[in-house]
Amino acid sequence: MALRADSNGIDASLYRKTGSWSTVLADASLGTTAAQEAADRLPDEVAKTLKSQQADPRDISAMTEALQPVEGLRAPVARMVAVHDGQVVLNEIIPGLKVENTAVDTGPFPNFVALARARGGAFSYLVAEAGRAGGEVHLYNTTSPERVASRGIVGVPEETHVARKVPGEYDQPKNQAAAEEMARRNAEEVADLIREMAHDNYVRLIVISGDVKSREMVRDYVHSSLQPLVAMLEANTRTGGADRNAVDAEIRKLVDTVTATELETLSQRVADNSGNSRANLALGINEVVEALQQAQADTILVSQYQDEHTLRALSAEPWVAVEDDPNHAELVIGQWPAPEVLLRATALTDATIRYVPDGLLPNGVGIAALLRWPRNNH
């Protein structure tokens, strides 16, 4: 994956690979005759463009194979492919992104701007389904409705039989206690799964569903550090009686609330740092570049894409420089559109990047950075 686990930045290790990269962003929609014909032509057209850009023949071959059309993709949808040293490093579908013209790039680092724009702010979340006889925990990411992974636990069959199938025995105190112990153990195991999967995937939302008693028990067993992420869903999806569409709609609302809250938090942080001293906020491309050069930027905020600017990419720290910077001449590897160079520097300094709505940044600027430590205002 090119994106880090929190999907707010690009994996810096990809930018540290030496040698030439080839990246392609193309329309991947099918469903009409014209779209199918365009998809069929795409590999050959991209190969010609890469050849004209003097790409490595191994990269051309790998890219041509990776761009073969995949059935069942509906518009709008895009595909991004990145190839390095004859190996496909990235081949991702981006639902919801409309691409008018195929973009083909060859250079010393990959161009992941479209991927970052499409997925900036995306996050992983868990949906747990708890019941008396077991439970499952499903991992999702906001970039796709498809499950990323699932893990489950199953109760002991004999105990399930006593608890569910033989009411007369279930009413006896001994069997009642055994059934309650089974439910408690199941809830604890589901909570353990939640803890493990949350830790591995940096989730920002945990939705718990199931019968009332089971989901409440799971919630109570969820680790205290994860409790602020928990949302209860009043639906028992394990019985098959819940309306799946209604459940999905409720989960989308919860996801949208997390996104809106994070944007509000960012907006408030910007507002809190927009006073006279503005010590913890860099505004405009020159100040942001300066912050990146010092690895001082924590979060880059982009509301306008800076396509009109170009920046120098450097082969080592400080990774980026403005066009007229007289320093670091020995490190300059070239000059490219600002979004590409900024994204690379953001990744290499372990910052994150967010593409935010117009109006969130002050003074009409198109780019800003929240800083790790205060600026030295002169």
Q: Pick from 234, 266, 298: which residue ends a domain?
A: 266
Q: Is residue 305 part of a domain?
A: yes
- Say if residue 262 is in the same domain as residue 285: no
> In this predicted structure, what is the pLDDT of residue 107?
94
Q: Pick from 266, 297, 324: which residue ends a domain?
A: 266
The Cα–Cα gap between 305 and 206 comes to: 33
- Say if residue 163 is in the same domain as residue 210: yes
> In this predicted structure, what is the pLDDT of residue 174?
64
- Between vectors from CA 163 to CA 157 and to CA 167, what angle results, nearest 5°? 130
- Say if residue 140 is in the same domain as residue 164: yes
Nearest Cα to Cα of residue 127 among 144, 140, 145: 140
**Adjacent-strand bridge partners of 321:** 312
Nearest Cα to Cα of residue 133 among 172, 164, 111, 99: 164
Token pair 């593409």 in the structure block, residue: 355
Q: Is residue 144 part of a domain?
A: yes
Please provide the DSSP assignment of 58-107 as one string: HHHHHHHHHTS--TTPBSSEEEEEEEETTEEEEEEEEET---SS-EEEEE
- Say if residue 253 is in the same domain as residue 281: no
- Say if residue 75 is in the same domain as residue 165: no
- Say if residue 281 is in the same domain as residue 255: no
Taking the CA atoms of 338, 344, 349 and 354 in sequence, report the sign of the dihedral they define: positive
The answer to whether 93 and 37 have CB atoms below 8 angstroms apart is no
Q: Is residue 5 part of a domain?
A: no
**CA dihedral defined by 317, 320, 325, 330, rounded to 10 degrees?**
50
Q: Is residue 229 part of a domain?
A: yes
Whichever domain contains 168, its CATH number is 3.30.420.60
Q: What total of structural domains would you count in the chain?
A: 3
Phi and psi, residue 301, nearest 5°: -115, 120
- Say if residue 287 is in the same domain as residue 259: no
Whichever domain contains 364, its CATH number is 3.30.1330.30
Encode the chain (378 residues) as per-residue pLDDT tens digits: 454 444 455 788 999 999 999 999 999 888 778 888 888 899 999 999 999 999 999 999 999 999 987 665 677 889 999 999 999 999 988 888 889 999 999 999 999 998 888 887 888 999 999 987 789 999 998 887 788 899 998 765 544 444 444 455 545 566 777 778 888 889 999 999 999 999 988 899 999 998 889 999 999 999 999 999 999 998 766 555 667 888 899 999 999 999 999 999 999 999 998 876 788 999 999 999 999 999 999 999 999 878 889 999 999 999 999 998 999 999 999 999 999 999 999 999 999 899 898 888 988 899 999 999 998 765
Extended strands (E) in the chain? 21-27, 77-84, 87-95, 103-107, 124-131, 134-141, 144-154, 206-210, 230-232, 281-283, 297-302, 310-314, 320-321, 332-337, 352-355, 367-371
- Say if residue 28 is in the same domain as residue 159: no
Instruction: Quote the radius of gyration of the chain (alpha carbons, Å).
Output: 25
Run of H or E residues at 57: helix 57-66
Q: Is residue 175 part of a domain?
A: yes
Q: Is residue 62 part of a domain?
A: yes
Q: Pick from 77, 107, 137: which residue ends a domain?
A: 107
The Cα–Cα gap between 107 and 148 comes to: 32
pTM exceeds cut of 0.75: yes
Q: Is residue 14 part of a domain?
A: no
The Cα–Cα gap between 90 and 18 comes to: 16
Q: Is residue 114 part of a domain?
A: no
- Say if residue 206 is in the same domain as residue 95: no
Domain that holds residue 128: 124-266
- Say if residue 316 is in the same domain as residue 189: no
With a CB cutoff of 8 Å and minimum separation 6, the contacts of 11 are 1, 2, 3, 4, 347
- Say if residue 244 is in the same domain as residue 196: yes
The answer to whether 42 and 102 have CB atoms below 8 angstroms apart is yes
- Say if residue 205 is in the same domain as residue 236: yes
